[in-house]
Structure 1
């Protein structure tokens, strides 16, 4: 009995189908990046962790007492190998006490973080552990010795006695390219003080304010946002120097410096889109 030709045709089709490779799977849908605590996308900042070593801008972080917000930002910038100094703008260092009417008050430029830590621990260990002050001061004393006041800073005065501070490498000459404050009143105080100092070095400095509430949790988030801004500025400055060379940069002039200054508004605008819940201000000043 002869074979059914329909069966033979079906077998041939199956052999031909087996010889053809299956089509590739469709591309994966892009997954949304995880969101940070304030709704900002944390991924871009993480991707910038490798700081270019050939050139780094010099930064200064500022809050009221040089204790919480400016020190968290100082630590994060210094940990990213960015030259960093930090200050407060208040007349005295003020920390919470046993009641609203009884703050703990200390002098800038002399009272060490270690001394403040030991005094508060002796006063009431339970209270100052519960409100996070002892932990904050323990962090601070690993960054530098004592809180400093911005109004006492002399631009261009060498900071050789701060060689043990985190982020000290690159700040020895006592000049900075960028000042970042953490509260609008500190922003105003910095601009007023720079104006009063008279810009004797004739060197431009970009002053930003990133408005951060003064508590430990928001200081941590704000520090990440400030690091993101700092890395964006540093990347742009490095590219301009690659294109134009560094001639005149330290005097605040030259093509590289001019190109960087012109790019700052677009950098701030892009940063603000990533961190919409942290209002920012910006001004150009002189030291």
Structure 2
């Protein structure tokens, strides 16, 4: 598969940290990549994980405006906990978060960052009218919503994309790519990695398999 043929999407809950870390790394590696959130509205992080910011934004709110709002609220706090730094870096990648359900583009591979997001992505894909009759691989990787974990997992996502990119047939290589990474990184198996292949337009047939500690599911819709 030529490099330009692999379209990649990464979806987390609000398109702030996990999906954007992967977006940044994949973009630097030359992949055609988009990142999205799945929940609306966007909820900004608060001073601590237990104290979310009361401000709610829609997906058209620019990262620079979010940054300005937090700076006015408590510059020292949000600079100290790294939130402003995250928003400033996101602004260099794209102007504002995007919602997966509002995107009509097609992708060869979609990575989700937690099971709830995976469920929403699959629900959205299954509800769409079939147009291209092309398969899309949906890979769920449970990623803790911290900067360190998001960065670490973004490199793993990049490795998987490189495996897909080098394959002659993504249909045959999907399980192998996930499986080989699982064998090399057994310590990650407790987090769970879920591979789903979706083909719209063929009715509900579900095949389940187990492979190197990861759940692999194949859908034909």
TM-score between both structures, scaled by the size of structure 1: 0.64
Report what 2:28 is aligned to: 79
Is the radius of gyration larger for structure 1 or structure 2?
Answer: 1
Aligned residues: 195
Contact 2:2/2:165, CA 8 A, preserved across alignment: no
Report what 1:280 is aligned to: 193
Matches within 5 A, 1:90-109: 90-98=39-47, 100=50, 102-103=52-53, 104-108=55-59
Q: Flag structure 2 segments of 5+ consecutive residues without an equivalent.
A: 201-221
1:200 aligns with 2:131: yes
**Which of 99, 108, 112 does residue 149 from structure 1 map onto?**
99
CA distance in 2, matches of 1:214, 1:117: 19
1:137 aligns with 2:68: no
Report what 2:112 is aligned to: 181
The structure that is strand-richer by fraction is: 2
**Which of 266, 271, 276 does residue 181 from structure 2 map onto?**
271
Contact 1:67/1:147, CA 8 A, preserved across alignment: yes
| Structure 1 residue 97: Cα displacement | 2.2
SS at match of 2:11: strand
**Which of 96, 111, 122 does residue 61 from structure 2 map onto?**
111
CA distance in 1, matches of 2:2, 2:128: 32
CA distance in 2, matches of 1:76, 1:54: 16
SS at match of 1:97: coil
Report what 2:37 is aligned to: 88
Contact 2:114/2:142, CA 8 A, preserved across alignment: yes
Contact 2:44/2:52, CA 8 A, preserved across alignment: no
CA distance in 2, matches of 1:58, 1:192: 20
Contact 2:38/2:121, CA 8 A, preserved across alignment: yes
CA distance in 2, matches of 1:105, 1:274: 41
Report what 2:148 is aligned to: 217
TM-score between both structures, scaled by the size of structure 2: 0.83
| Structure 1 residue 56: Cα displacement | 4.1
**Which of 170, 178, 181 does residue 260 from structure 1 map onto?**
170
CA distance in 1, matches of 2:90, 2:184: 28
| Structure 1 residue 274: Cα displacement | 2.6
CA distance in 1, matches of 2:31, 2:158: 9
Deviations 1:65-86 (A, max 9, x none): 0000000000000000000011
User: What is the Cα-based RMSD across aligned positions, in Å?
Assistant: 1.8
Question: Cα distance 1:129–1:269, how it changes in 2: closer, same or farther (>3 A)?
Answer: same
Question: Cα distance 1:200–1:56, how it changes in 2: closer, same or farther (>3 A)?
Answer: closer
CA distance in 2, matches of 1:273, 1:281: 15
Contact 1:62/1:186, CA 8 A, preserved across alignment: yes
SS at match of 1:139: helix
